[in-house]
Amino acid sequence: MDPITQNVNANIEEYINSLAAECLQAQGIVNLTQEQKDAFAASVQEYLSQAALEVLVNRLNSEQLSQIENLDPASDEMMEKIQQLAAQVPGLADEMEKRFRSDVEYIKQNSKVPQG
């Protein structure tokens, strides 16, 4: 992985971790045991990962979607395509963040991860 990608990925990890940490401050979560908190944080992170993919896919047009529909989800080619397509969607970063903020607020208010 090139240094730039590594650096960006580190920033993204830090950002997502900060969102999960924010969720742990929810009223119904803050008093859980550390083990329970760790499990909750992991579920928040996984949910936000799915949310990122969902925001992207819902912005792809037919031709773009066809480029990834039949790829192995865990393949490097999928990662590459996802990245390339995400770069082609105007305003996607802003939309993703709105979605993340919305999800975090929901989790903080309801002390649970939305059912996906």
Partner 1 sequence: MAVEDPILKLADEARRAVAPSGENVFKRGLNKLGNLAGGVGRKAGGALGGVGNAAGGARDMAGNMVGGVGHGLGAGARAVGDGTVGVLGGVAHLGIEGAKLPFKGAGKGVELAKKLGTEAVIGKAGDVLKNVPAFGKSIAGFATGKIGEVGAGMASRELAKGVLAWTATTAGIGTGITGTWVGGAFVGAMGGAMIEWGRQINQNLKESDPSIAGRRAAFLLKFKELRHAGVLKPRDLKKIRNAAIFGAIAGAGAGALVQFVPEIAQFVGEHSGFLTGTGDTAGAAAGTTADALGGVGGSIGNAAGGIGEGIGGVWSGTGEAIGGIAGGAGEMTQGVRDMAGNLPGVKGTGDVLGGIGNAAGNVWSGTGEVAGGALARTGETIGGATQTTGDFARSLPMGQGAADTLGGVGGAIGGGLGQAGEAIGNAAQAVGLGGAQEAAQQAGQETAQGAAEQAAGEAGNTGLSETVQAAADEANSTAALDASNAAVGEAVQQTGQETVQQVGQEALEEAGQEVAQGTEPIANTMVHGHEVAGSVVDQSLTYDGAPWVLLENGTKNIGNVLEAAGIDGALEAVDKGVLAQNLQQATNLWTQGQLTPSAYPDLYTLFHLSNGTASVYNDLLNEDTVDILKKLKVLK
Residues near partner 1, by CB under 8 A:
3-5, 7-16, 18, 42, 45-46, 48-50, 52-62, 64-65, 68-69, 73-74, 78-80, 82-97, 100, 116
Q: Which is nearer to partner 1, 16 or 113 (CB)?
A: 16
Q: Which is nearer to partner 1, 29 or 55 (CB)?
A: 55
Instruction: Decide: 45 and 16 in contact? Cβ < 8 Å.
Output: yes
Q: Determine the Cα–Cα distance for residues 92 and 105; give it in Å rounded to an integer.
A: 20
Least distance in angstroms from the C-beta of 41 to partner 1: 12
Residue type for position 38: D
Q: Determine the Cα–Cα distance for residues 93 and 52; give it in Å rounded to an integer.
A: 10
